[in-house]
């Protein structure tokens, strides 16, 4: 009974911070829209510094956890529905990146992610009898996505470091997702390593978010960052 209470507490806390992280993702989308309507930002600059690589693998991470949540027994509402919403917002960000850049890479990323989300929703709706197979697939997908997520965030960090500016990157998004990653790690520990170990991979995301948050401070205070911005001006 005590473990069930702790499980409910950890799950509720994680859901709360996931909702907070959804606001962080939403703030990123709002920042893109704001820059789009800013007369000082020209075509192709609305999504300046945003890494297509990073947002593509971020979508994959949300989608993988969405599938994982309905693949385990019992069905985990704490994981499934917030991650589905996050996947939709991340897909909207990819849509805005494609509208801004009009590149083959952005178009392929958008279409691939849209198809994957459709497949994930179809698996939820029509594949309830294959829970063991879905669990193996979803866990393998989470491990693969974590590796991709690490290199995706590394790409975003590298873009900021090279340019000396954060551009369209949202600080709120990093702050709120960091809070979610910490609560996800706690939830994984309560679930137990046998079932919850994939959630521990949130530590990778948390580490990269800390670095990006530091780069916001570096951008404002470092002479090196100013030199990099002047070189690109």
Calculate the average pLDDT of the chain: 86
Pick from 150, 35, 147, 141: nearest CA to 96: 35
Model-level pTM? 0.81
At 132-159, the pLDDT tens digits run: 666 677 677 778 888 888 899 999 999 9
- Residue 223, helix vs strand vs coil: helix
Per-residue pLDDT at 149:
85
12 band by pLDDT with thresholds 50, 70 and 90: confident
At residue 68 the predicted structure's pLDDT band, cuts being 50, 70 and 90, is confident
51 phi-psi bin (left φ>0, alpha ψ -120 to 50, beta other)? beta
pLDDT at 44: 54
Each residue of 160-203: pLDDT tens digit?
Answer: 999 999 988 999 999 998 988 998 888 888 888 777 777 887 88
21: three-class secondary structure by DSSP: helix
pLDDT, tens digit (0-9, with 9 covering 90-100), for 27-61: 999 999 988 887 555 555 789 889 999 999 889 88
The predicted structure's pLDDT at residue 128: 56
Q: What per-residue confidence (pLDDT) applies to 138?
A: 66
Instruction: Give Cα separations from 229 to 11, 47, 157, 233 (angstroms).
Output: 43, 17, 15, 6
Per the listing, tokens 């890479």 go with 105
């Amino acid at each position: 009974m005590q473990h069930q209470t702790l499980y409910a507490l950890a799950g509720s806390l994680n859901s709360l911070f996931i909702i907070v992280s959804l606001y962080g993702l939403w703030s990123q989308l709002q920042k893109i829209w704001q820059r789009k309507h800013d007369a000082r930002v020209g075509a192709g600059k609305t999504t300046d510094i945003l890494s297509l690589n990073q947002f593509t693998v971020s979508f994959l991470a949300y989608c993988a956890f969405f599938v994982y949540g309905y693949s385990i027994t019992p069905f985990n509402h704490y994981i499934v529905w917030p991650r589905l919403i996050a996947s939709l917002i991340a897909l909207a960000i990819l849509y805005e990146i494609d509208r801004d850049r009009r590149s083959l890479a952005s178009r392929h990323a958008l279409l691939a992610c849209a198809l994957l989300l459709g497949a994930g929703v179809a698996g939820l709706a029509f594949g309830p009898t294959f829970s063991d197979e879905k669990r193996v697939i979803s866990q393998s997908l989470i491990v693969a996505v974590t590796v991709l997520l690490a290199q995706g965030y590394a790409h975003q960090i590298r873009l900021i470091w090279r340019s000396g500016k954060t551009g369209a990157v949202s600080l709120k998004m990093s702050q709120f997702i960091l809070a979610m990653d910490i609560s996800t790690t706690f939830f994984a520990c309560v679930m137990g390593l046998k079932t919850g170990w994939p959630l521990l991979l949130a530590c990778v995301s948390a580490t990269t978010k800390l670095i990006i948050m530091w780069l916001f401070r570096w951008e404002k205070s470092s002479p090196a960052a100013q030199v990099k911005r002047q070189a690109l001006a």
